[in-house]
Amino acid sequence: MKRKLAFCFLLLLFGLQSFLLQTHATETNNENDYKSPEFKAVASQFMCTCGCGQDHYACDMAGCANTDAFKADLISMMKKGMDKDEIREYYVGMLGEEILTAPEKKGFSLTAWVLPFAAIGGAGTGIFLLLRRWVSGRGKESTPEEVLAIEDEVEEEILSSIIDEERKKYL
């Protein structure tokens, strides 16, 4: 009898667990998580076109008419198992690159990403060469005494300002 009771109890427990899991799963299905990191990774790639100037992740639905439908589409694609790159390619194919919040890292758009660093690199090399020209010849002339004197620059500044002050007092 005790065994039967224990068996029934276990069955009830499994049943309850299944029910809870089911309810939880249903709840998750009904309420899409528009703030999950996965959704953020997908939705923040796309610019909202309602004029809010934000991406579809950030756009608050009450103020925007089209983000609601767009978000629902994104969720359905994610449920189909499409990853963020596939979803991006789908929309770029349909609506063009303008839909993205940032240019693609290929083709002509790659220049958008590369040029600033290329410019800094080029200018940096120029500065290095200029510095080398300025330094060459001069660097060897400085003596260790000169270097030591410069190291105590703060003390020198303070001393000179105190001397100035004293001079103003008495002269």
Closer to other proteins by Cβ: residue 81 or 137: 137
Q: How far is the CB of 16 from other proteins (least distance, A)?
A: 23
Q: Are 54 and 48 in contact (CB under 8 A)?
A: yes
Q: Which residue ranges make up the site for other proteins (CB under 8 A)?
A: 31, 33-35, 40, 44-45, 47, 51-55, 58, 60-63, 96-103, 108-109, 112-113, 115-117, 119-120, 123-124, 127, 131-132, 134-135, 138-139, 141-142, 146-148, 150-151, 153-155, 157-159, 161-162, 165
Q: Which CB sits closer to other proteins, 18 or 23?
A: 23
129, amino acid identity: L
Residue with tokens 């002509």: 108
Provide the b/e sequence for 16-48 (b: ≥16 CB within 10 Å): eeeeeeeeeeeeeeeebebeeeebbebbbbbbb
